[in-house]
Amino acid sequence: MAIRIVGDHPLTRDEQGRLKSRIATLFLSDHVLVTLPGIHATQRLAYSELVYRGRQAAGLAPLTGEEERQEWENSADLIMENGFLLIRPDPARMDLALSADDALQELVSKRRIRFLNVLDDRVRRAVTERGERWRISSLPHSPEEMNSMIRKSRIHIGQQPIYYYNMITGQRILTFHEFAALRNLAPAALAAQMQEIGDYAGRLNRRGYNEVAFFKTEGPFGAADFAACDWGSAGPEAVLQGWDQLRARFMSAVPPEFRVDNPDDPEWRKAMFTALITRREEPVAEAILSGLSPEFFLQIRWLPGGRVEQGELIFDPIFDELENKPADDELKALCDLNAKHIFFNLIREFGDVEYMNIGRVVGSLSTRPSASGRRDVYIVELKLRGIEAPLVRIIRLLKWGIREHLDEQKDLLRAIIEAEEYAEYVMDRRMGCRQLGMNLPNRITLRKIGERYHGLRKEFEGQLLWAMYAERDYIRGIATDKIPPSKLADPEFAVRFAQLLGKAAAVNIVVGRIHLNGSVLFDDGDEVLTQDERGLPAEIVVADHTGTFVDYRAELIAFAEGYAAPVSRRLGMVPQPAALADAYLTAFKERFDYIQQEFRKRRRAFLTLFRHGRYEQEGAFAFRWERVLERLDRTDPAALTDAIRANIKLPANG
């Protein structure tokens, strides 16, 4: 059924480029979309008037009060924002939200429709189980994005745009700053504005929230205060006097730090951001959307994939839209074909998938400088039937594949061979790291996807090539370089953490984990700390062994400064800096001693581990392995530890 619009198209803008209406209501019984400016309550009244006239023309009796209420209930609230239609679901009636979604796709592209209220588990679950996490309206992450959201939330009812709009509750939030600025209005306009504030502050919307709320009021201030003056009949002097009295009451109810709207003030920004994205009873915690550690989750852009119904795979129809509009850059960025192929691989592997969501990590979680080669990383949430918790997988395309070698002007056969050799090299490094005691994820699997070549070689343009990726389980923890100071302020936590970090550092230095620019790769995003039931450090897992065996020539003492840095940068965060340094260095030396003794006990087993592979003086892993073991054997653990200690500058009162 085609949608009938009462008002303008929901994304219509005026001469100044502003949306003509910020809200709309879709009535699902007969697919009527009301976009008339106002509030959702006035749009329901407009719909009732439309139905009344239609029934009157057809010779039918008007709807009863109960029938009218049912029509109102069978609707979905929409908000227009940044070119999107945002559905604000009633968590108890997700069927209405999903029906609205299907109907609106006849009006705008599916990519222009998103869901709000995702901090509610019922909404989140309904969207996630459709394999459409990409359609969740994400929260801003940076101060700049928060400020933009706050600025764009400004809205009016019938008078001035003085309110900040909460899209979750439907409330319009009025700050003291905006209220005080009303003094600049002419008396008649001021009277109309005061009447509007008083009227709507006393009304509840369909979700039980006041249409107008007052920001950060801690004392009694509300609609009753506005009823003391008859704004419609009061003269100019009485209007100004009434406003001035309310201004004084409003000011006394608001703490001083929230009396001026200042997005550059972190406290004000945080308070307003919280007021705009939550209901009064819920916390702000975007990480709960997937259970991922916060620094990881905020880097994910969820992508279209598909869903499974009765065992049948149904790819998201947004991919059909891309086929019809192949030059649409926005669609190409959204419809990641590598993600689609990864999705397909997993469905082929697991025959009992209930739902799956896939996202792309859009920023590096490490602090190291970027280097050549590809850096594509994906995260997959996979729910299997009969298993309560979803599986979470990390997928990383290998840095050097056929595409990259073709770009280096190698012929196709050589590019294929070198891509396969690199995959072997990656897995050999992993085995070497484990042999020397690095705590890596238990399982990594290499798989392939097909992708079209679009690179420097025009003769291969559009050629289907294979790209290889590594798949592993997600490690539930927090990257060591992102542990908050509040945690390190606990002496027991700090010492336990330092001991684990020292152990991890010993293995890291042995395997020559270095960036191509010569800097040490450690404690910069790949080491993940897990915690026990008391929240204390349990273990450190190295999520990605990138950079291992890069250096196999230099004496280890040359890297002493790099391995002092993890302690040095935390000295100001802990109550006992000397204890932190001692715990780290003691654990480092003990672990290095242990690795060295294990090698000396089983020298032949270690040295022959990779002799079956290619052995060349430069590049081959077998050669690097032997050089690393020889260096381990000749290094004095005590001297190395002392060199690191000498680079740690403890405070005078340390």
pLDDT at res. 138:
63
Pairwise CA distance, residues 525 & 520, whole Å: 13
Q: Which residues contact 128 (CB under 8 A, 6 or more apart)?
A: 355, 357, 381
Pairwise CA distance, residues 511 & 530, whole Å: 23
Q: What is the CATH number of the domain that holds 518?
A: 1.10.1070
Least confident segment among 185-199, 331-345, 349-363: 349-363
Pairwise CA distance, residues 118 & 136, whole Å: 7
Please indicate, yes or no, if residue 82 is contained in any of the structural domains: yes
Please indicate, yes or no, if residue 165 is contained in any of the structural domains: yes
> Do residues 548 and 589 both lie within one domain?
yes
Residue 41 has pLDDT above 70, yes or no: yes
pLDDT in tens, 469-484: 999 988 888 889 888 8
Out of 473, 505, 540, pick the residue that ends a domain: 473
Residue 327: strand, helix, or coil:
coil
Please indicate, yes or no, if residue 132 is contained in any of the structural domains: no
Give the pairing type, strands 212-214 and 537-542: unpaired
> How buried is residue 443: exposed, middle or buried, by Cβ count under 10 Å (0-12/13-18/19+)?
exposed
Please indicate, yes or no, if residue 282 is contained in any of the structural domains: no
Strand order of the sheet with strand 353-361?
300-303, 353-361, 377-384, 391-397, 464-473, 444-452
Pairwise CA distance, residues 11 & 23, whole Å: 10
> How buried is residue 216: exposed, middle or buried, by Cβ count under 10 Å (0-12/13-18/19+)?
middle
pLDDT in tens, 138-158: 666 567 878 888 988 898 888
Out of 473, 496, 526, pick the residue that ends a domain: 473
> Do residues 431 and 517 both lie within one domain?
no
Report the mean per-residue pLDDT for the chain. 88
Please indicate, yes or no, if residue 415 is contained in any of the structural domains: yes
> Do residues 263 and 299 both lie within one domain?
no
> Do residues 549 and 411 both lie within one domain?
no
pLDDT at res. 286:
38
> Do residues 303 and 225 both lie within one domain?
no
> Do residues 453 and 487 both lie within one domain?
no
Most confident of 1-5, 375-379, 446-450: 446-450
Pairwise CA distance, residues 335 & 128, whole Å: 18
How far lies 180's CA from each of 257, 270, 441, 497, 592, in Å? 15, 22, 58, 51, 67
Please indicate, yes or no, if residue 641 is contained in any of the structural domains: yes
Please indicate, yes or no, if residue 137 is contained in any of the structural domains: no
- Helix then strand count (H, E) for the chain reads 23, 21
- Cα R_g (the chain), whole angstroms: 31
Pairwise CA distance, residues 233 & 66, whole Å: 37
- The span from the first CA to the last CA of the chain, in angstroms, equals 74
Out of 442, 473, 504, pick the residue that ends a domain: 473
> Do residues 352 and 426 both lie within one domain?
yes
291-328: b or e for each residue (b if 16 or more CB lie within 10 Å)? ebbeebbbbbebbbbbbbeeeebebbebbebbeeeeee
596-612: b or e for each residue (b if 16 or more CB lie within 10 Å)? bebbeeeeeebeebbee
pLDDT in tens, 90-109: 888 999 999 999 999 999 99
Number of structural domains (the chain) is 4
pLDDT at res. 374:
86
Phi, psi of 78 (to 5 degrees): -125, 150
Phi, psi of 427 (to 5 degrees): -75, -35
Which residue, 387, 385, 339, is CA-closest to 359? Answer: 339
Q: Which residues contact 230 (CB under 8 A, 6 or more apart)?
A: none
pLDDT at res. 77:
92
Q: How large is the average pLDDT for residues 52-75?
A: 92
Please indicate, yes or no, if residue 130 is contained in any of the structural domains: no
> Do residues 461 and 541 both lie within one domain?
no
> Do residues 461 and 493 both lie within one domain?
no
Pairwise CA distance, residues 89 & 102, whole Å: 14
Query: Do 403 and 372 touch, CB atoms closer than 8 A?
Result: no
**Range of the structural domain that residue 589 is part of:** 478-646
Pairwise CA distance, residues 309 & 355, whole Å: 9
How far lies 353's CA from each of 127, 155, 446, in Å? 16, 44, 21
Residue 3 has pLDDT above 50, yes or no: yes
Give the pairing type, strands 4-6 and 32-34: parallel
Q: How large is the average pLDDT for residues 420-424?
A: 93
Q: Which secondary structure element, helix H or strand E, spans residue 488, and what is its range?
A: helix 485-488
Pairwise CA distance, residues 202 & 213, whole Å: 9
> Do residues 80 and 217 both lie within one domain?
no
pLDDT at res. 539:
97
Question: Of all residues in the chain, what percent carry a pLDDT higher than 90?
Answer: 56
Q: Which secondary structure element, helix H or strand E, spans residue 72, and what is its range?
A: helix 65-73
> Do residues 614 and 543 both lie within one domain?
yes
Give the pairing type, strands 353-361 and 377-384: antiparallel
Pairwise CA distance, residues 506 & 635, whole Å: 12
pLDDT at res. 289:
35
> How buried is residue 188: exposed, middle or buried, by Cβ count under 10 Å (0-12/13-18/19+)?
exposed
> Do residues 37 and 95 both lie within one domain?
yes
Pairwise CA distance, residues 515 & 547, whole Å: 6
Place of tokens 């004496």: 555
pLDDT at res. 267:
79
Give the pairing type, strands 464-473 and 478-479: unpaired
Residue 414: strand, helix, or coil:
helix
Pairwise CA distance, residues 326 & 399, whole Å: 27
Most confident of 87-91, 212-216, 272-276: 212-216
pLDDT in tens, 364-418: 555 555 556 788 899 998 889 888 888 889 999 999 999 999 999 999 999 999 9
